[in-house]
Amino acid sequence: MKKIASLLVHIPDEARLGAGGELLFLAVLQQTMFQFEEVHSIQLLVDGQQTESLMGHVELQNPILRESE
């Protein structure tokens, strides 16, 4: 039986990036973490709290889900 995991990623408030950096960070995070078949979602927390976005460019109110293959 396979376990399904939701990954929590805690980042400090100081790690907030501009639009390009935010998109690159999220793309690399997804590419890296979704290579593990157990990980089906990623939830980002800033200083341990849910956030609407990192810098207002990408909505992060909900977990990032693995795309269907």
Where do the domains of the chain lie?
1-41+51-58
Band (pLDDT 50/70/90 cuts) for residue 29 is: very high
pLDDT at 1 over 60: no
Stretch 6-22: mean pLDDT, rounded?
82
Whether 52 and 16 have beta carbons less than 8 Å apart is answered as no
pLDDT at position 42, please? Answer: 93
pLDDT at 69 over 60: no
What's this model's pTM, rounded to 2 decimal places?
A: 0.77
Q: What pLDDT digit, counting tens, does each position of 58-68 carry? A: 888 899 999 87
Token reading at 60: 């992060």
